[in-house]
Amino acid sequence: MTTPVRTRFAPSPTGYMHIGGMRTALFAWLWARHTGGVFILRIDDTDQERNVEAALGPIFRAFEWLGLNWDEGPKVGGSFEPYYQSQRTALYQAAVDRLLAEGKAFKDFDAPEVIAEDRKQAETAKRTYVNVRRSLELSEAEKKQLEASGKPFVVRFLIPRDQKIAIDDAVRGHVEWDCSLMPDPVIMRSNGSFLYNFATVVDDSQMQITHVIRAEEHLANTPVQALIHMALGNPLPVFAHIPFITAPGSTKKLSKRDVDKLRNSPQLKKMFDRADEVFPQLGLGDSKTLNPVMVEYYERLGYLPSGILNALSRLGWSLDGTTEFLSLEDVIQNFTLERIVKAPAGFDPEKLQSYQQHWMNQLPLSDKVTGCLPFLTQAKLISGDIDDSTREIVAQVISAVADRLRVFSDILDYKEFFVDDESMTFDEKPFQQRLRDAPEAVGLLKSVREQLTTVTPFDAATLDKLVHDFVETSGIKIGQIVHALRVAVTGKSVGVGLFDALAILGRTRSLRRIDRALDRV
């Protein structure tokens, strides 16, 4: 009988969800879903100085926004509770005690300065550092005496230095390490706390994890973890170390620590600038609060989960080398570990936008309206009491905007349709150019205004004909009136089609805005 697949994602509560970490979680989730297995969310919160609850919020939020449900873990429980490392210390202590009793670990009484000197000597001699096992030479009586005196000690796992350790990684292939070059790792600190490399082995075994799918930087942890698994008599899980995500135009890992450099990256600058334009309107700070390295950045800007999931699934995995647009269901059906590549996956903002645009274009108009309404409400451009007339105006704007609506927050670029006529601001440069510095503009605008008072129906097609007839009878070029009219009714020189804008605003609002513009010249 085949053992059911059980995968896990075990983040530390950092206060945000890294886009690269989300890709790792997605791959583990996909393998569980593809095989009909179980996906576990486990929290590695051994750092007790962190406010765990506050720091976990963005992690849970990211999973929930993307629709990546977990079968076991916080909020949902499971057969192997608790799912927080900080609550599992009894399990770790029992495993330490067992390794000590079986002679597979030892208490090391060497002072930190002694170990530092050992490292210095190894460096001077240009040889690989491996710790000196002085404490193994102590008699039982000497050890008890040191403990009784309060001498601090750590517990180290005893590396079998007379052998090699190898794994067959599902992504990297056969990987081998020489144990003679490995220092004995600390598994329990002098204060009684436990190290990640040790705790994660105990957890993976106890939770019956079959596949450890994680970022390639963890490959260096694997030999020690495999040896601890073997010492405890555990079956080895399948390891799959997936490629890290590189910053655009770089071979360096995409990292929040490099956010200032990323801000000035030609490929990412637009994404930072967009955050600085949109987030202040929503009361969310700016790009210093949320940036493109964080999953929440995309949620708060109104990206679609389908667009982000499509982009993340293609970072290091492909269906056939050519298919770009894949629904989550498509990826689940076709996902295999064999098709994960070894090479680093480059984060490409333009490709991300193409995925987002594709899935936005698939949405029916009603869903686009539903997606845009929270942004208009949060920006205080509409009230919280949304009636059918409000939805209709939003629908008309979205239809006029067409494929320029790439993410839901783009609706905020068209605030002229939602502000009061008296509150609408005019962009000074086009106002000066199209009205104040154009001698004929005022007279032409007044003449068109007269015709707008009676034209029926007040729709885009009729208004288009009216203006073109006016141009022909007046013997002018169309640019002499449409630019002035656009600035008068929208306050801007660019936007949706002029006749769509007039129709959306309606006769009364359009006339009121033209009057404001004329009074301002």
In this structure, the strands spanning 105-108 and 154-157 are antiparallel
Q: Report the alpha-carbon distance of residue 395 to residue 397 in Å, rounded.
A: 5
Q: Report the alpha-carbon distance of residue 237 to residue 132 in Å, rounded.
A: 31
Per-residue pLDDT, 423:
93
Could you please state the CATH topology (level 3) that the domain comprising 364-418 is classified under: Helicase, Ruva Protein; domain 3 (1.10.8)
Average pLDDT, the chain: 95
Token code pair at residue 342: 């070894």
Per-residue pLDDT, 50:
57
Give pLDDT tens digits for 263-292: 988 889 999 999 999 999 999 999 999 999
The CATH number, out of the four listed (1.20.1250.20, 1.10.10.10, 3.40.50.620, 3.55.50.30), of the domain defined by the range 89-242:
3.40.50.620
Give pLDDT tens digits for 20-55: 999 999 999 999 999 999 999 999 987 665 556 788
Per-residue pLDDT, 14:
85
The CATH code belonging to domain 421-521 is 1.10.10.350
Per-residue pLDDT, 55:
85
Domain limits, the chain: 89-242, 256-362, 364-418, 421-521
Per-residue pLDDT, 399:
98
Give pLDDT tens digits for 408-425: 999 999 999 999 999 999
The answer to whether 213 and 32 have CB atoms below 8 angstroms apart is no
Give pLDDT tens digits for 139-189: 999 999 999 999 999 999 999 999 999 999 999 999 999 999 999 999 999
Per-residue pLDDT, 49:
58
The answer to whether 230 and 256 have CB atoms below 8 angstroms apart is no
Superfamily of domain 256-362: Glutamyl-trna Synthetase; Domain 2 (1.10.1160.10)
Q: Report the alpha-carbon distance of residue 452 to residue 103 in Å, rounded.
A: 93
Look at the alpha carbons of 347, 348, 349, 354 in this order and tell me if their dihedral is positive or negative.
negative
User: Which of 400, 402, 398 has the alpha carbon at shortest distance from 369?
Assistant: 398
Q: pLDDT of the chain along its 521 residues, tens only?
A: 578 999 999 999 988 999 999 999 999 999 999 999 999 999 998 766 555 678 899 999 999 999 999 999 999 999 999 999 999 999 999 999 999 999 999 999 999 999 999 999 999 999 999 999 999 999 999 999 999 999 999 999 999 999 999 999 999 999 999 999 999 999 999 999 999 999 999 999 999 999 999 999 999 999 999 999 999 999 999 999 999 999 998 899 999 888 988 998 888 999 999 999 999 999 999 999 999 999 999 999 999 999 999 999 999 999 998 899 999 999 999 999 999 999 999 999 999 999 999 999 999 999 999 999 999 999 999 987 899 999 999 999 999 999 999 999 999 999 999 999 999 999 999 999 999 999 899 999 999 999 999 999 999 999 999 999 999 999 999 999 999 999 999 999 999 999 999 999 999 999 999 999 999 99
Residues 6+ apart with CB under 8 A from 187: 96, 99, 105, 155, 156, 157, 194, 195, 197, 198, 228
Per-residue pLDDT, 51:
58
Per-residue pLDDT, 384:
79
**Residues acting as catalytic residues:** 256
Residues pairing with 340 in the sheet: 317
Domains 364-418 and 421-521 share a fold: no
Establish whether the linkage from the previous residue to 82 is cis, with ω within 30° of 0: yes
Per-residue pLDDT, 54:
82
